[in-house]
Amino acid sequence: MGDAGGKTGTLYVVATPIGNLDDMTGRSVATLRSVQLIAAEDTRLTGRLCAHYAIDTPMVPYHEHNEVRQTAMLLDRLRAGEDVAVVSDAGTPLISDPGFRLVSAARDARLDVVPVPGPCAAVAALSAAGLASHRFHFEGFLPAKPGARRRRLEQLRETPETMIFYESVHRIQDTLADMCDVLGAERQAALARELTKLHETIRRDTLGGIVQWVAADPWQRKGEHVILVEGAAESDDGEGERVLDILCEQLPVSQAAELAAKITGAARNRLYRLALRKTRNGDGGN
């Protein structure tokens, strides 16, 4: 109920395209047309989207530098019965984008919050990368400073799920190189670039292979990137790991992994990667 005892407005969290304008859903367009106000990360950018879809709803800026003040104002408008949509520059608001403070405050105030789902670079990349997708860890942006970035990667080294990272074009090569060093060059990974756009490329390879590919082709350093890295081989691979450790004392890694897989029924690739990692870390194998 609003301040005057009337009905309160609804906050819609509306996803917008990450490149291809045709990815705007019919419901997103209808919502942006029907609300009284759009809170946009960049009103000029969202203005272009609105012009394309003949949406003439008034807009206010809502970004990381004004979100405290704007949240209070937007809550007042919601309480007064107006419907508000929050959008970011691209994709789903709150996913490495502004919106959390507003949604959280709206929930605290027991206002209705309705998602209007659509594009999200992380989910788009995961859906086409061919890495395990039943569980995943969304990391978003790593720290920009090299030391902090490597420390965070070290904390993530044993994460068992596929990891999803966003990265800025300025740091893509440095970040991939750090991933290679810290997570291991032989880990499977994928680089999803310019999703939904003209020059979309999705490449799956080892981290080492991706580093080389990006170094060799300057095109691959341009645009927007999502990096996906497979999770750590579980150190607790039970019987497979026990047999692997014994065989690694006598045999080359690939043969040990193959035999351990045959004996125990564990996945050969998993055991192979586990053996490589142990060899690199100096805790067994040859």
Sign of CA dihedral 167, 168, 169, 173: negative
Binds ligand SAM by CB under 6 A, chosen from 9, 91, 184, 285: 91
State the CB neighbour count (10 A cutoff) for residue 258.
Answer: 16
Q: Does 191 bind ligand SAM (CB under 6 A)?
A: no
Task: Determine the Cα–Cα distance for residues 283 and 258; give it in Å rounded to an integer.
Answer: 20
Q: Does 163 bind ligand SAM (CB under 6 A)?
A: no
DSSP H or E run through 59? strand 59-61
> Structure tokens of 67?
């979100």
Q: Does 96 bind ligand SAM (CB under 6 A)?
A: yes
User: Closest CB to ligand SAM belongs to which residue?
Assistant: 91
Q: Does 92 bind ligand SAM (CB under 6 A)?
A: yes
Binds ligand SAM by CB under 6 A, chosen from 13, 166, 220, 276: 166
Identity of the residue, 167 or 237, whose beta carbon is nearer to ligand SAM in the bound complex = 167
Binds ligand SAM by CB under 6 A, chosen from 122, 131, 156, 163: 122
Q: Which stretch binds ligand SAM (CB under 6 A): 51-59, 107-115, 131-139, 221-229?
A: 221-229
Reported as half-sphere exposure (CB side, CA atoms, 13 A), residue 183 has a value of 31
Task: Determine the Cα–Cα distance for residues 3 and 82; give it in Å rounded to an integer.
Answer: 12
Q: Cite the beta strand spans of 142-276 per DSSP E.
A: 162-167, 188-193, 201-206, 225-229
Task: Determine the Cα–Cα distance for residues 122 and 167; give it in Å rounded to an integer.
Answer: 11
Q: Which stretch binds ligand SAM (CB under 6 A): 24-32, 92-100, 142-150, 257-265?
A: 92-100
Cβ contact 23:119 at 8 Å: yes
> Structure tokens of 149?
């970035």
Q: Does 19 bind ligand SAM (CB under 6 A)?
A: yes
Q: Does 202 bind ligand SAM (CB under 6 A)?
A: no
Binds ligand SAM by CB under 6 A, chosen from 66, 168, 235, 255: 168
Using CB under 6 A as the criterion, which residues of the chain lie in contact with ligand SAM when the complex forms? Answer: 18-19, 88, 90-92, 95-97, 120-122, 166-168, 192-197, 224-226
